[in-house]
Chains A and B, each alone.
Chain A
């Protein structure tokens, strides 16, 4: 009984403690006061504090504005249900709002409309950009006609082509040495960047890889990823495929899945899957897993935008870039264009509660100047991202970061965000990174000239939708892409080949409403876009 009394006393004590605790513990975080502006940015812990970054210090010095940076990690930011409600901040950098969010927050005055500040006096750089680029102005407009965000523009001409096809030349040499019929017609001299193979030749070689290297992955890619996906394989059948299955073909918004070429591509992939030329991991892995798995050189061939990250250093020279696969039937080469945009709409928003919007915008306007854009995008001159001396008035990237890799350096030192880097800037003010140049070169010499679609296909630009259109898109598009991918993967891995009627009934018919609506809305928005950009 004694024991139970102690227990009872304990319980009572606990209950009292629990009752008092809420009253006793009262805690609020005090905000950093005394700065002219406080801006919330979204960055990882590994990225340096913005307040110590030289580029921001020189920005502050030049504009005379006192901006204090606080940050959320992306995990914190994603879980914040009301980012515009954070007290004591004047702007959000790396806001990443969707069209609907921009519209909603803007409509309620939670974020400021910038139109009246886009003047020669307050934002001379931004005004000049919008005047010169009606497409950007059009893209930034919300359904109510206002501009609520500052964009990020980084035009290198790379994002539309997120895939290059690489192949292991050493393994092809093995086939040639063994007089394998798969490699017939291929000379060792051909085995350099720009190798041109028909799809059936390519298939034979992959089969040879499979026979010689049992545990290899003949063709690797990341299904559903924005880069390094299977789109260009499908495109080779003569349909401008991309990860969204949606493109502009001859001025019309089109779903690639409606083309019979697309169906034939899926059928062929089914066959390749059955022959183990494509493995199941292609459809389940993430981009990171894909990169980690490729390091030991088990990929016979793969889609990615470069090879350096996919295979480890000592194996890099084994791989060469290929031209797009040649369609056996027509002898033509096709590549689709992705809808990844080089203009990102909502990189920075000013909150409605900001007391001196003009002052803060004057500061942000500086971000659009080439020298600042470059330093924001790659790291400051002081930290060693660029050489201290300009050459011919151009900033030259510094490739030597000591023991740090280029990516590592950039991750830590570059805040990214609001920048304006276009063809004009690359030509006159900033030298492109060598990696980007290499990639452009590869695209220019091995892909673009051979692409039959180069004149008939374009990426879907940043369109300006009405509120009704946004509603329709969010209703239908959320599930449509998933339905298409689901049908496709199921057919590829199925034991029997997909039939035309299956494609027509289970994919086209059952998603007809959704596809028609999405097409209609996009077509209307695209035509408005054309009109707006042509008139200006």
Chain B
């Protein structure tokens, strides 16, 4: 049907639509608003706790507004060179690591979505098994050590290279969202597998790639433990490990204990803010690509 026809039809239905939908949008809006309220308070709490006197936080005086406003928590963190270095390291690991993840995951998902993939029946269980069984930390470290990744910051990029879960997510996407007709047309044109993938599949895959970028990037961003178990030198620690180290209160005795406890309490809140705000902006950046590339309207 052409656009004009559609428009008139739409108009016709408009009154009826608005009547029935009125309730729906009201209910929907109410639910989403409620969820927002539930979410917002604890987030708000983190913000006000990060700028309040930590002893007021511990004693439960802070709950509606900042008490004895102070920015010393932020000042403490930003005055530390290791925090800035942590930012830089995290940025490098996240960018390089995510690129590596995407390079492995997207093609794998594509290949798995094709039923003509040779050895498919072997590859599938091979991947699935890894979701459930692992050898444990000690052999994992032994293997990485053999590869020269022990005490090597490169592990922060190469570790967790493929999430089988994500591969299956991609596979499912390609199965539903790449129209057969396009592929057949390409084949008739004589396009090989490689060309098909780069020229046809990838441009269609923007939304899944952006989701994967988000998933992997956040994984890298939040990873603090690898730097510790692989004994990466402190100069190469990512931000989260640096912050974690600041939080660990050394079991001080006596007067120091209470004092350090308070400082650590404040660092808890400030560190969430400084570690989270930069990555939050990633969502609007990738959300732009949602729905893009999918061949809207054609072949229907």
Contact = CB atoms under 8 A, between A and B. Distances in A.
The answer to whether A and B touch in the complex, with CB atoms under 8 Å apart, is yes
A17 B152 CA distance: 19
B231 A76 contact: yes
B250 A287 contact: no
Q: Chain A CB within 10 Å — which of B154, B245, B248, B256 has the most?
A: B256
B261 to A, nearest CB: 4
A4 B58 CA distance: 53
B226 to A, nearest CB: 10
Contact of B261 (A27, A291, A408): A291
Contacts, number: 122
B254 A407 contact: yes
Interface in B100-145: 100, 102-104, 137-138, 141
A76 B228 CA distance: 6
Interface string A4-19: 1001100110110111
Contact of B138 (A7, A29, A81, A296): A81
Given A8-B203, A25-B154, A81-B141, A309 B257 contact: yes
Interface string B240-258: 0000110011101111111
B256 A405 contact: yes
Contact of B244 (A8, A75, A407, A410): A75
Interface of B is mostly: helix
B257 A14 contact: no
A14 B228 contact: no
A86 B141 CA distance: 13
B199 A8 contact: yes
Contacts of B256: 405, 407-408, 411
B198 interface: yes
A22 interface: yes
A18 B103 contact: yes
Interface in A11-61: 11-12, 14-15, 17-19, 21-22, 25-29, 44-46
Contacts of B175: none
A82 interface: yes
B245 A81 contact: no
Nearest to A86: B231
B233 interface: yes
Given A8-B203, A411-B256, A75 B153 contact: no
A292 B104 CA distance: 50
Contacts of B152: 27-28
B198 A81 contact: no
Interface in B180-234: 198-199, 202-203, 206, 209, 225, 228-229, 231, 233
A412 to B, nearest CB: 10
A75 B250 CA distance: 9
A459 B231 CA distance: 39
Contacts of B8: none
A79 interface: yes
Interface string A275-302: 0000000000001110111011000000
Interface in A195-211: none
Contacts of B70: none
A28 B151 contact: yes
A291 B99 contact: no
B168 to A, nearest CB: 21
A407 B255 contact: yes
Contacts of B257: 287-288, 291, 309, 407
B258 A309 contact: yes
B229 to A, nearest CB: 5
Contacts of B199: 8
17 contacts: A8-B203, A18-B103, A21-B99, A22-B154, A22-B158, A27-B152, A28-B148, A29-B151, A45-B245, A73-B245, A79-B229, A79-B231, A81-B137, A288-B249, A293-B59, A295-B55, A405-B254
Going nearest first, the 4 A-B pairs with the smallest beta carbon separation are A4-B203, A79-B228, A288-B261, A407-B254
Given A17-B99, A292-B58, 12 more contacts: A8-B199, A14-B99, A18-B100, A21-B157, A28-B148, A73-B245, A79-B229, A80-B229, A81-B229, A288-B257, A289-B261, A405-B256
